[in-house]
Chains A and B, each alone.
Chain A
Amino acid sequence: MTEHVMPEATQPPIPPPAADHRTHGGVHDPNAGHSPEEIRREIRVYMIVFGALAVLTLATVFACYGLKLPVHYAVMVALAIACLKGFLVAGFFMHLLSEKKLIYGILILTVFFFGLLLWAPTHDILDKFGR
């Protein structure tokens, strides 16, 4: 392969690797190429998501640590906020809102076994202790 040495810093945006240039309702498709304007728009979305994650982190601490909620309420609030934060990270930073079907398939299989892993021992312990 011929080697083309490029300048160190700024160079034209990298062209898409393939002719797969799709959009998904404005959500970034990580497998498609994008224009510089689209990439800059994505950067703005990342910053909004960052703001939301920061606010949700403080909300978790306030709800569980500041309000001193009863345990069952604290568990529900903390896990609900954690799930929302997880959705933001996975959906926007990991681009799961616009991924290929194969990755969704892998993740569905993983979530099934993950759920089984959590459910099986909990089910067993609830049976034994009636709690």
Chain B
Amino acid sequence: MLDAHGHAQAAPGHEIEIPFNVAPRPDTGLYNGKLGIWLFLASEVMLFGALFSSLILLRTAAPEWPRGWLELNVPLATVNTMVLIISSVTVVLAWANLRLGNLQRGRLFIAATLACGAIFMIIKGFEYGHKFHLHHYPSTSNFFATYFLLTGLHGLHVLGGMIVFTYFLTVGSKMWHTEPQRFTNRIEIVGLYWHFVDLVWIFLFPTLYLL
């Protein structure tokens, strides 16, 4: 329970609540979860930045480097790009519908996002399976090492997002009945993460597959 200034107050018989879960902090203008996710995303930019930097280093120093579209499946990756873009839209639609007070539609769009994530992973699985069938492994060449590392790490991020969405679609959605604003904020936060995952793929797609 928060007082008029957003400070935590213990209700009789209850544990003290973490402050600024819903109301923005006066000094930052943000609720804590949102500031937290942006700091996390900043660290993620550095993680993927280091790997992109390695790719540039390897590629510019290599005497020859395979053209991505000759080695990788561009049509499948294009479908995956569209799937992730659609999932980004479904996340914002879930958030917008929750703000409109419509849990049913919000959950529907969360489920659609989860389905898009699953489709992305299945397509990626087919792509990996085909590469392994051709005996293309991370140890095959620097090109495949960077391909598997970057797409693999990105895939793990998609998987992480799917786990969180599954939680909010099932047991996590109980919070709506007691704290609808806080639940809506949680969907905004996981949405920001999901958009970042989409953003990484937007740059991975041309860098790996088309150049």
A and B: partners?
A: yes
Contact of A110 with B46 at beta-carbon distance under 8 Å, contacts A3-B178, A18-B23 already known: yes
Which one of A102, A113, A117 contacts B29 once the chains associate, using CB atoms below 8 Å? Answer: A102
| A:15-45 near B, CB below 8 Å | 15, 17-18, 20, 30-31, 34, 36, 39-40, 42-43
A102 adjacent to B104 (CB under 8 Å): no
Please name the residue on chain B nearest to A50 by beta carbon: B89
Q: Give, as a whole number of angstroms, the nearest-CB distance from A84 to chain B.
A: 10
Nearest 8 pairs between A and B by C-beta? A78-B206, A64-B210, A9-B104, A110-B42, A121-B57, A114-B49, A11-B101, A50-B89
- 23 A-B pairs within 8 Å (CB atoms) are namely A3-B177, A4-B178, A6-B180, A10-B102, A13-B99, A13-B101, A14-B98, A14-B99, A14-B180, A17-B23, A42-B96, A61-B74, A64-B69, A78-B207, A90-B195, A93-B88, A93-B89, A107-B42, A114-B46, A125-B60, A125-B61, A126-B60, A129-B60
Whole-angstrom CA separation of A109 from B39 in the bound complex:
11
Q: Is the interface of B mostly helix, strand, loop or mixed?
A: helix
With the chains together, A122 CA to B202 CA distance in Å? 22
CB B44 to nearest CB in A, in angstroms, measures: 9
Residue B56 at the A interface, CB < 8 A?
yes
Residue of B nearest to A58 (CB): B78
- Flag whether A74 is at the interface (Cβ < 8 A): yes
Contact residue among B28, B39, B89, B207 (Cβ-Cβ distance under 8 Å from A46): B89
A57 with B82, Cβ < 8 A, contacts A8-B103, A39-B96, A102-B29 known = yes
- Residues of B near A31 (CB, < 8 A) are 24, 29-30, 34
CB distance from B195 to the nearest CB of A (A): 5
Residue of A with least CB distance to B15 = A1
Q: Which of B8-53 contact A (CB under 8 A)?
A: 11, 14, 17, 22-24, 28-31, 34-35, 38-39, 42, 45-46, 49-50, 52-53
- The answer to whether B137 has its CB under 8 Å from any CB of chain A is no
Question: Contacts of B82 on A, CB cut-off 8 Å?
Answer: 54, 57
Which residues 62-100 in B have Cβ within 8 Å of A in the complex?
67, 69, 74, 78, 81-82, 85-86, 88-89, 91-93, 96, 98-100
CA distance A82 to B54 in the complex (A): 19
- CB proximity of A13 to chain B, nearest CB, Å: 5
In the complex, A118→B207 CA distance in Å?
14
Contacts of A97 in B (CB 8 A): none
B202 touching A118 by the CB < 8 A rule?
no
C-alpha gap A78/B81 in the complex (Å): 14
Whether the Cβ atoms of A43 and B99 lie closer than 8 Å is no
Question: Are the CB atoms of A61 and B78 closer together than 8 Å?
Answer: yes
